[in-house]
Amino acid sequence: MQTKLNGLPAFCRGGMPNVLHSGGTEAGHAVSAHFQLYREALNLLVSAIMKYGEKAIQKANLEIWDNPFPDRDYTIDISYPEFTCLCPRSGYPDFATMNITYVPDKKVVELKSLKLFLNSFRDKEESHEASTNIIFDALKESLAPRRLDVVGDFNVRGNVKTVIRVSL
């Protein structure tokens, strides 16, 4: 979502031009209010033209279900080979396979909600370490699993390969 607005004037992206903040006059406040309304209308327009997948990703929340076999230890392995996030330094995309392995206790994660949650990183500027740890923390907090491993296996970029492992 943010990347689509980068070419717009600052007031459309959330900031106001400095000239509007300097005067403090009634006219300045009226202009500032005008630009605020313009920005809100533009945001509504952008959300109206968003594709259904973008809307689903924007609203992504992990959906947690009851474990149908809470008295049994079993392992759930999930591989998500299309993970992307943005490098916080360059803005270039980073690609990875996220591997999630857990032994559930009382809760399991619904897979479509997990997919949308992982897709929500595609426009976020997060390092390899941060994105892997954020995913780990969200699953640990939501599921309280008996065991949890999250591995971010990032593709080579700049002749460097990174694998981040976080375990409980």
Q: In angstroms, what CA-CA distances link 44 with 38, 41, 47, 83?
A: 10, 5, 5, 28
* Residue among 12, 73, 87, 123 flagged as catalytic: 87
Annotation marks residue 94 as catalytic? yes
Nearest CA to 133 among 111, 148, 143, 146? 148
Nearest CA to 139 among 165, 117, 116? 117
* Residue among 66, 71, 85, 94 flagged as catalytic: 94
Q: In angstroms, what CA-CA distances link 157 with 71, 87, 119, 148, 152?
A: 44, 11, 20, 27, 14
Residues taking part in catalysis: 87, 94
